[in-house]
């Protein structure tokens, strides 16, 4: 008995195998995950904690664009002229965009560093605050 062979079935199988490999990479292997953040909301403010040990303040840029906060910078190698015995940290430029859940007041944004953690605080804009509507 004859069976129909379709080369496209083999090609789709190969594509699924490759897609599965890239979707199962460990998070530490993905460059887009740096810096790792925690985002908190309390009362009328958002607080973002970004882990950035070893990155100088002057190597970090924070921008508020539309409803996104963009953190970018560069982690410079600490041993430029010496060979590593073992290296697990990566170096180089990074950029992370964080979509904010609502509009924020651009005038009250603050950023500080404490123990290698960048702390950014954003207040809700007056337009984003709940407003009671009176029934007439």
pLDDT single digits (tens) 41-70: 988 899 999 998 888 888 899 999 988 999
pLDDT score, position 110 = 93
- Is a pLDDT exceeding 90 seen at residue 38? yes
Domain spanning 31-123 has what CATH number? 2.60.40.790
Strand ranges inside the chain, DSSP E = 37-42, 45-51, 60-65, 68-75, 92-99, 110-114, 117-123
Q: H-helix or E-strand containing 12?
A: helix 7-23
Confidence of residue 30 (pLDDT cuts 50, 70, 90): very low
Paired with 105 in beta bridges are: none
Nearest by Cα to 49 from 101, 105, 98: 98
Q: What is the pLDDT of residues 78-130, one digit of tens each?
A: 776 777 778 777 788 889 999 998 889 889 999 999 998 999 999 988 887 77
- Is a pLDDT exceeding 50 seen at residue 28? no
- Is a pLDDT exceeding 90 seen at residue 12? no
pLDDT score, position 112 = 94
The answer to whether 128 and 102 are in contact (CB under 8 A) is yes
- Is a pLDDT exceeding 50 seen at residue 34? yes
pLDDT score, position 39 = 93
pLDDT score, position 87 = 75
pLDDT score, position 5 = 65
């Amino acid at each position: 008995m004859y069976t129909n062979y379709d080369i496209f079935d083999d090609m789709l199988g190969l594509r699924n195998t490759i897609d599965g490999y890239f979707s199962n990479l460990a998070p530490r292997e993905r460059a887009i995950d740096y810096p790792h953040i925690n985002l908190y909301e309390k009362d009328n403010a958002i607080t973002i904690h970004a882990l950035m040990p070893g990155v100088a303040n002057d190597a970090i840029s924070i921008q508020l664009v539309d409803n996104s906060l963009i953190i970018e910078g560069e982690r410079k190698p600490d041993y430029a002229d010496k060979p590593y015995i073992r290296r697990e940290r990566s170096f180089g430029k990074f950029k992370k965009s964080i979509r904010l859940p609502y509009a924020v007041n651009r005038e009250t944004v603050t950023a500080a560093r404490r123990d290698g953690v960048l702390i950014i605080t954003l207040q809700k804009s007056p337009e984003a605050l709940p407003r009671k509507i009176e029934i007439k």
